[in-house]
Structure 1
Amino acid sequence: MQSFTDLVAQFEHRFTTTLPFPESPATIYDPCRYLLALGGKRIRPVVCLMANELFMEINEDAWHAAIGVELFHNFTLIHDDIMDKAPLRRGQPTIHAKYGLTSGILCGDIMGIYAYHSLANIDTALQPVMQLFNKTAIEVCEGQQLDMDFETRMDVTLDEYIHMITLKTSVLLACSLKMGALVSGALGDSANKLYEFGKNMGIAFQLQDDYLDAYGVAEVIGKQNGGDILANKKTFLLVKALQNADASQRKQIEDLLNSSADDKVKSMLALFSATGADVLCRDLVAHYSHLAFQSLDDVAIPSKRKQPLLELAQFLLQREK
């Protein structure tokens, strides 16, 4: 079994040397190459390969699935950046900021189409793979819309928030794992357990991300903490604080959401703590992490073969940045 680091290097080489983009028109394909050259963690495609390797040596179908899922992920990033009016991605100008809005929209569109182009090369279990991928693609779009809808709502519930991050963040990770299993010929319970592993890991990861943005040590996370607070993002912490707040605390939270005061982050963190949102966030990270590890443990494969996936999950869910 290969480590995550080894497979990232292999995927990076194959991904960047086999991209199907033609030279012309450069106005659409140069922006695509620009974004992909910025790199990324490559978590989704590599867990697809790791899931495939649980059952067999990594096959060509797994590579097609991995490349397809990474192209789709980058398609979502391009359009998310446009909707968020984000100026930077991975420390560099976003596509729409660098090349213009039209190029950004078309680049995202065509990258999504090339994702299907890669998946169409799969021989093993193509129909269940495409059914899963189509369902996931729809869910990711629904999750993004819910995230945008929440921006104007003050009554978002915890269940609604978990549902949103499940769709926006975790189902693509779950899909990647299950596709890797499906193209190995593994059907039924093993593939479904890997899906549940990825889904719960994705939820825990996002909750941990919410917490670290607020409470992470700046020197460790590499940025000033409280970015989500300054942007008034509906994170778990804000949703739960609003849910638990008494009338006075709710008024303070609402005032801070309309404020640009220098002490906004400090004041909001105090309210998160006063309402118990911080403790509940850590508890939920532990809860969904446990569910993820239990699902992986239930996959009917020798534990030694699952070790690289277990180590990756532990790294992602126990990180401090």
Structure 2
Amino acid sequence: MISIEQLLEKLQAEIESHSYGENPAELYDPIKYMMSLGGKRFRPLLTLIAASIYTNEWETAIKPAMAVEVFHNFTLMHDDIMDRAPLRRGEPTVHEKWNANTAILSGDVMLIRAYDLLLDIPKERLRLVLERFNCTAGEVCEGQQLDMNFETRWDVSEEEYLEMIRLKTSVLLGFALELGGIIGRADEKSIKLLYSAGENIGIGFQLKDDLLDVYGDPSKFGKQVGGDIISNKKTFLLIEALSRAGGDILADLQRWIAMETFEKNDKVNAVRDIYEALDIRSFTEEKIKAYFTRGIDCLKQLDIDNDRKTFLLAFVQQLVEREK
């Protein structure tokens, strides 16, 4: 079988050579810039791997896989505007490098180009893919709106948070795997298993991101450890701590949340100590393990050759074990 490195090399070459449009340059240059910033590319890789375990003609999945990546980057471009984020992958965000109006319009074109990249799918499967893509895209927007709603609420429940990250993050991973299965002509049961695997792994992936922000190795994490604590971001850990804390611990946590002037390291260490006192770390680790286990169990149920199944499971295990 082809290796992950070969799939990534082929995918990256196609992304770099693809034209999203040329004129006016002010519309298309931000798209080229955004796509050049890199990223893990694991969503389109999931599509290619899923296709490759069902067909040797996996290259037919390259453009559809790119559609997943273009759509993902479109959401990031618009999210950065809403979050007023200055940096994306260590470089200026599009709205900072150009302006917000340009970023909005260029993002709109990215969504259109994502549809263009799906058009090579054979006609008998195109309608299904478009239906599933439209459903996924709508759910991602629902998740983003819920995330924005949560910014002004301090009564967000664990259940609400998990549903938000399912919509905002994990449904796209589910679609990425599902898309590869559809292109590879997998049976209906296998396609559903692929989607469920991606959905569960996606939730585990986001929960692990929340955990790494507090407990990650700064040399591996790739961004400031404790950033979520500093900004009072409502992560799984904070929501769980607010629901568990009482008495002096709750008062102390609320004091740090309300504090406007503080030393960053002091706040991170203090809130981390509160998490430890409430056993938040181990609870979060158990929750992450449960979602990853569900996802991997779905993949193990796939009725495919063991070598191909091992190929997919090995890549997913890399995601599970990531430290950044």
Fold shared by both chains (TM-score > 0.5): yes
* 1:20-59 matched pairs, under 5 angstroms: 21-59=20-58
Q: Aligned with 1:24: secondary structure? A: coil
Q: What amino acid is the match of 1:310? A: L
**Per-residue Cα deviation, 1:4-36 (whole angstroms, up to 9, x for no partner):** 2221111000122123x2221111001111111
Q: Aligned with 1:154: secondary structure? A: coil
Contact 1:213 1:227 in 2 (8 A): yes
1:64 positional shift: 2.5
Find the counterpart in structure 2 of residue 293 from structure 1: 296
**Per-residue Cα deviation, 1:151-191 (whole angstroms, up to 9, x for no partner):** 11111111111111111111101101101111122231111
Find the counterpart in structure 1 of residue 253 from structure 2: 253
1:247 positional shift: 3.3
Q: Distance in 1 between matches of 2:90 and 2:14?
A: 24
- Does the alignment pair 1:234 with 2:237? no
**What is the Cα-based RMSD across aligned positions, in Å?**
1.3
Which is further off, 195-204 or 309-318?
309-318
2:316 alignment partner, one of 313, 317, 320? 313
Find the counterpart in structure 2 of residue 203 from structure 1: 203
Find the counterpart in structure 2 of residue 162 from structure 1: 162
1:276 positional shift: 1.8
Find the counterpart in structure 2 of residue 125 from structure 1: 125
* 1:53-68 matched pairs, under 5 angstroms: 53-59=52-58, 61-68=60-67
Find the counterpart in structure 2 of residue 183 from structure 1: 183
Which is further off, 260-269 or 78-87?
260-269
TM-score normalised to structure 2 length: 0.95
Q: Distance in 1 between matches of 2:213 and 2:33?
A: 28
Q: What amino acid is the match of 1:265? A: V
**Per-residue Cα deviation, 1:232-253 (whole angstroms, up to 9, x for no partner):** 1111100100111113322222
Find the counterpart in structure 2 of residue 284 from structure 1: 287
**Per-residue Cα deviation, 1:20-79 (whole angstroms, up to 9, x for no partner):** x22211110011111111112111111101100111113454122111111101100100
Q: Distance in 2 between matches of 1:171 and 1:2?
A: 27
Structure 1 stretches lacking a partner, 5+ long: none
Q: What amino acid is the match of 1:179? A: L
Q: Distance in 2 between matches of 1:105 and 1:318?
A: 35
Q: What amino acid is the match of 2:190? A: S
Q: What amino acid is the match of 1:64? A: K
Contact 1:49 1:58 in 2 (8 A): no
Q: Equivalent pairs: percent with the same residue?
A: 44
Q: Distance in 1 between matches of 2:223 and 2:96?
A: 22
Q: Distance in 2 between matches of 1:286 and 1:310?
A: 15
Q: Distance in 1 between matches of 2:290 and 2:149?
A: 27
Contact 1:75 1:109 in 2 (8 A): yes
Q: What amino acid is the match of 1:298? A: Q
- Does the alignment pair 1:193 with 2:198? no
**Per-residue Cα deviation, 1:96-137 (whole angstroms, up to 9, x for no partner):** 000111100001100001101111221151111111100000
* 1:42-121 matched pairs, under 5 angstroms: 42-59=41-58, 61-121=60-120
Q: Distance in 2 between matches of 1:298 and 1:206?
A: 24
Against the structure 1 CA distance between its residues 302 and 59, is the aligned structure 2 distance closer, same or farther, given a 3 Å change threshold? closer
**Per-residue Cα deviation, 1:256-298 (whole angstroms, up to 9, x for no partner):** 1122422110111011111221111000111111101100000
Find the counterpart in structure 1 of residue 277 from structure 2: 274
Contact 2:78 2:107 in 1 (8 A): yes
Q: Aligned with 1:125: secondary structure? A: helix
Q: Distance in 2 between matches of 1:140 and 1:99?
A: 25
Contact 1:48 1:62 in 2 (8 A): yes
Structure 2 stretches lacking a partner, 5+ long: none
Q: Distance in 2 between matches of 1:144 and 1:4?
A: 31
Contact 1:23 1:29 in 2 (8 A): yes
Aligned length: 320
Q: What amino acid is the match of 1:309? A: L
Q: Distance in 2 between matches of 1:29 and 1:320?
A: 34
Contact 2:15 2:35 in 1 (8 A): no
Q: Distance in 2 between matches of 1:280 and 1:152?
A: 26
Against the structure 1 CA distance between its residues 273 and 72, is the aligned structure 2 distance closer, same or farther, given a 3 Å change threshold? same
